[in-house]
Amino acid sequence: MVSSANSLLEERRARQRPVIGSSKTYVLGESDAEAERLRVLDEVYGKTSRALLQRVGLRTGWRCADLGCGPGHIALWLAEQVGATGHVTGVDRAELFVNLARSSAHQRGFHHAHFTEADAIAPPLTDATFDLVYSRCLLSHLPDPLLVLRRMTALAKPRGAIVVEDIDCGGGFAQPESPARMRHLEMYQAIVRRHGGDPLLGRKLPRLFRAAGLTEIHIEIVTPVEPVAAVKRLYPLTLARLKPALLKAGLATDAEVDALIADLHALADDSSKTVSSCPLVQVSARRPA
Ligand SMILES: C[S@@+](CC[C@H](N)C(=O)[O-])C[C@H]1O[C@@H](n2cnc3c(N)ncnc32)[C@H](O)[C@@H]1O
């Protein structure tokens, strides 16, 4: 009994050991508030993510992996699409998100969806066994995105699909432009870089796909615009989640961040202003045969 408890403890410690090439921490944190922000993020981009996956040919019986799956919005949808003859594995380093995804899968009776707490750089998955290897908004938080893309490629079966969607914070607009949105994006870029990520990763994805040796590369860029109300709400929600990291890094003061969050909420409430999200670059390809 004691030895099985010890081995569980040892397993958990092993999962928490830093993985070479990985980031130290996820800059937006691991909390219920971040889980809620990820729900809103899915409201903004989810429709286009699902359309992309359908274009790639997703069908019943497919085996899929979602790296950095968060609370599992896309992984659970994949489970619905592939049905009980298929299989979905979601991987995330955050225990809270993995538990949320597991309990949603349980509630929905998805016995073919499994969620694992692990680093995306070294997921405990078998090479060449997946029809689809997917990731959304993970690579921009990692210091070596090509390493993870190569890992994703290795997981796919020959001719299997690799799909990555990631943000490019250099775009988007408000009309008329909002100084609060611009300042928020400056802060976002600075803090993501401090944590070893790349807030402009989106534009670099096609080059990374070529470097990983992938074929049949397709690229799309989506920039959802309100009236999807969540587009405007995502800005203050994101800044609120970044606040602890910004303060710790000395990139802003408490008062400055709070004032900016209030301005971003005011922007969201102002129906005279048109606001877009940051562009999401969507890249799909195949592992060579
Ligand atoms: C922006 S969220 C995206 C979540 C989900 N893919 C979505 O689109 O809703 C990034 C996710 O990556 C996870 N993450 C960050 N670094 C990771 C790593 N090295 N390995 C695995 N997951 C990681 C975070 O815990 C978080 O859930």
- pLDDT tens-digit series, residues 163-217: 999 999 998 999 999 999 999 999 999 999 999 999 999 999 999 999 999 999 9
Average pLDDT, the chain: 92
Residue 7: is its pLDDT beyond 70? no
- Residues 223 and 69: their CA atoms lie apart, in Å, by 21
Residue 153: is its pLDDT beyond 50? yes
Our CA angle for 277, 283, 287, nearest 5°, is 160
- Residues 236 and 278: their CA atoms lie apart, in Å, by 13
- Minimal-distance CA residue to ligand 1 atom 16: 26
Please report where in the chains the tokens 């219920």 appear, as a residue. Answer: 32
Residue 228: is its pLDDT beyond 60? yes
Domains and CATH numbers, the chain: 21-286 (3.40.50.150)
Our CA angle for 79, 157, 95, nearest 5°, is 45
How many CB atoms within 10 Å of residue 13? 9
Ligand 1 site, CB within 6 A: 22-23, 26, 38, 41-42, 68-70, 73, 92-94, 97, 119-120, 136-138, 141-142
pLDDT, tens only, 187-199: 999 999 999 999 9
Span 240-257, average pLDDT:
97
Q: Which amino acid does the sequence have at 278?
A: C
Query: Given this model, what pLDDT does residue 229 score?
Result: 82
Span 76-102, average pLDDT:
98
Query: Given this model, what pLDDT does residue 13 score?
Result: 45
Query: Given this model, what pLDDT does residue 181 score?
Result: 96
pLDDT > 70: what percent of the chain?
92
Query: Given this model, what pLDDT does residue 5 score?
Result: 43
Our CA angle for 116, 126, 63, nearest 5°, is 75
- Minimal-distance CA residue to ligand 1 atom 10: 138
Q: Could you tell me the two tokens for 146?
A: 């090509």
* Helix, strand, or coil (residue 18): coil
Cα-trace Rg, the chain: 19
- Residue 24: pLDDT band (50, 70, 90) is low
- Minimal-distance CA residue to ligand 1 atom 17: 93
Query: Given this model, what pLDDT does residue 82 score?
Result: 98
Helices 179-194, 254-269: axis angle to 10 degrees equals: 130
Cα 145 to middle of ligand 1, angstroms? 13
pLDDT > 90: what percent of the chain?
89
- Residues 164 and 196: their CA atoms lie apart, in Å, by 19
Of 15, 16, 26, best ligand 1 pocket probe by most atoms within 8 Å of the beta carbon: 26
- Relative to beta strand 274-275, strand 174-175 is antiparallel
- Residues 3 and 8: their CA atoms lie apart, in Å, by 9
In the chain, helix, strand, coil percent, each to 5?
50, 20, 30
Residue 272: is its pLDDT beyond 80? yes
Query: Given this model, what pLDDT does residue 23 score?
Result: 57
- Relative to beta strand 280-286, strand 215-222 is antiparallel
Query: Given this model, what pLDDT does residue 8 score?
Result: 41
Q: Given CA atoms 64, 66, 67, 71 in this order, what sign does their dihedral have?
A: negative
Query: Given this model, what pLDDT does residue 17 score?
Result: 45
- Residue 226: pLDDT band (50, 70, 90) is confident
Mention every residue, 6+ apart, whose C-beta is less than 8 A from residue 260.
Answer: 180, 183, 184, 187, 239, 252
- Residues 198 and 186: their CA atoms lie apart, in Å, by 13
Residue 145: is its pLDDT beyond 60? yes
Of 39, 104, 141, best ligand 1 pocket probe by most atoms within 8 Å of the beta carbon: 141
- Minimal-distance CA residue to ligand 1 atom 14: 68
pTM reported for the whole predicted model: 0.92
pLDDT, tens only, 52-82: 999 999 999 999 999 999 999 999 999 999 9
Query: Strand locations in the chain, DSSP E?
Result: 63-67, 87-92, 113-117, 130-136, 156-167, 174-175, 215-222, 274-275, 280-286
Comparing CA positions, the residue from 102, 212, 97 lying closest to residue 164 is 212
Of 92, 139, 142, best ligand 1 pocket probe by most atoms within 8 Å of the beta carbon: 92
